[in-house]
């Protein structure tokens, strides 16, 4: 049986072959849904468009671009018909130009690259000059973020989910808190996204545990802050140390505990050790958080646009 390989899939394979000439440390990034590879210290999303008598077209979701832009040393490789015509653009550059690119109501951005390999932006004749990014293979080898410690995709995804949960909470009118103040999401620190700079002390919970919970939502009641939702994020390789922290909120019976994890089996396993509170835990996947974040943001935008 010969497996039928699509043209674009073949181009993506060509890309990996070419990349392996440069750098033999290549592996797929599994925790993300998109086709992302770790090439040396760079994280690269590979997309391909087949040759035709027109612009090169790529559909790409907002969530995907945002996730890429928040990784360590991220790039997006747009293969335009041939491996010799590849635009290797820093993900952050694309992310910063997203507001000049149209999208559908599902948040899917329409990436058009012209025949002379410039990124087409909104407005007549408006282009982002990509001359410097064409076949820019060497940029994958340079670690622009020249710090000794490399942030893993898992760590980045943890911060991304924290940032998204904080923003969703803010949009819904909650007071929000996260202990990881210096971590970043979309270039902003988590502490600047959260509305609370210090974790409120609660009468019936252990403050040392409470203030370490990944994300907390509170409701204002008079001068008091009432806990509403508590989130712990456990990406595959994590140690699941956070789950126990949530039980410090046991006495607040209205608070629901959410575990964001891509491993439902592990969740079921771990949760067995908390038989009494089992029904207070809910499992949510990182992809669901992305969908929710995207939807809440777009309805907020729509409300603003319509003025209702």
Residues that bind DNA (CB under 7 A): 3-4, 6-9, 12, 33-35, 47-50, 52, 54, 56-61, 64, 102-105, 108, 110, 112, 120-126, 287
Q: What is the DSSP letter of 99?
A: G
Nearer to DNA (CB atom), residue 126 or residue 192:
126
C-alpha to C-alpha distance for 42 and 23, rounded to whole angstroms: 10
Q: Could you tell me the smallest distance in angstroms from the CB atom of residue 79 to DNA?
A: 8
Instruction: Give least dist CB 231 to DNA, A.
Output: 21
Helix (H) or strand (E) holding 234: strand 224-234
- What phi, psi does 227 have (nearest 5°)? -65, 140
**Burial class of residue 305, CB neighbours in 10 A (0-12, 13-18, 19+):** exposed
Between the alpha carbon of residue 124 and those of residues 92, 110, 120, 127, the distances in Å are 24, 16, 9, 9
Residue 62 or 218 having the CB closest to DNA: 62
User: C-beta of 15: minimal distance to DNA in Å?
Assistant: 10
Residue 57: CB minimum distance to DNA, A: 5
Cβ-based nearer residue to DNA, 36 or 233: 36
The pairing of beta strand 224-234 with beta strand 256-261: parallel
- Strands (E) in 52-118, as ranges, are 56-61, 74-80, 86-90, 108-113
**C-alpha torsion 182→258→242→223, nearest 10:** 60
Q: Output the smallest distance, CB 250 to DNA, in A.
A: 32
Helix axes 62-69, 153-171, angle to 10 degrees: 120
When the beta carbons of 58 and 274 are compared against DNA, the nearer one is 58
Of 7 and 135, nearer to DNA (C-beta) is 7
Q: How many CB atoms lie within 10 A of CB 93?
A: 15
Minimum CB separation of residue 69 from DNA in Å reads 15
Nearer to DNA, 106 or 254 (CB): 106
Pick 33 or 282: Cβ nearer DNA = 33
CB of 64 to DNA, least distance (A): 5
């Amino acid at each position: 049986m010969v497996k039928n390989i699509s043209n674009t899939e073949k181009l993506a394979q060509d890309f990996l072959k070419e990349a392996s000439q440069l750098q033999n440390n290549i592996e797929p990034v599994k925790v993300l849904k998109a086709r992302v590879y770790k090439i040396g210290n760079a994280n690269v999303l590979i997309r391909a468009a087949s040759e035709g008598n027109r612009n090169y077209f790529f559909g790409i979701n907002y969530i995907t671009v945002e996730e890429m832009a928040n990784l360590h040393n991220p790039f997006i490789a747009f293969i335009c018909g041939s491996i010799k015509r590849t635009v290797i653009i820093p993900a952050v550059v694309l992310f910063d130009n997203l507001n000049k690119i149209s999208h559908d109501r599902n948040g899917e951005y329409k990436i058009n690259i012209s025949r002379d390999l410039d990124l087409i932006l909104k407005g007549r004749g408006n282009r982002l000059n990509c001359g410097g990014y064409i076949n820019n293979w060497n940029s994958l080898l340079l670690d622009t973020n020249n710090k000794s410690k490399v942030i893993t995709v898992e760590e980045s995804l943890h911060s991304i989910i924290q940032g998204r949960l904080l923003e969703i909470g803010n949009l819904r009118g909650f007071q929000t808190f996260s202990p990881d103040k210096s971590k970043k999401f979309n270039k902003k620190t988590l502490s600047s996204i959260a509305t609370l700079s210090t974790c409120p002390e609660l009468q019936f919970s252990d403050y040392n545990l409470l203030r370490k919970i990944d994300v907390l939502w509170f409701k204002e009641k008079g001068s008091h802050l009432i806990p509403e939702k508590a989130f712990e994020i456990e990406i595959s390789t994590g140690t699941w140390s956070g789950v126990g922290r949530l039980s410090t909120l046991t006495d607040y019976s209205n608070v629901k505990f959410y575990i964001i994890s891509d491993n439902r089996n592990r969740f079921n396993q771990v949760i067995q050790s908390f038989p009494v509170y089992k029904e207070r835990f809910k499992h949510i996947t990182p992809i669901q958080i992305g969908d929710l974040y995207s939807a809440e943001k777009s309805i907020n935008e729509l409300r603003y646009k319509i003025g209702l």
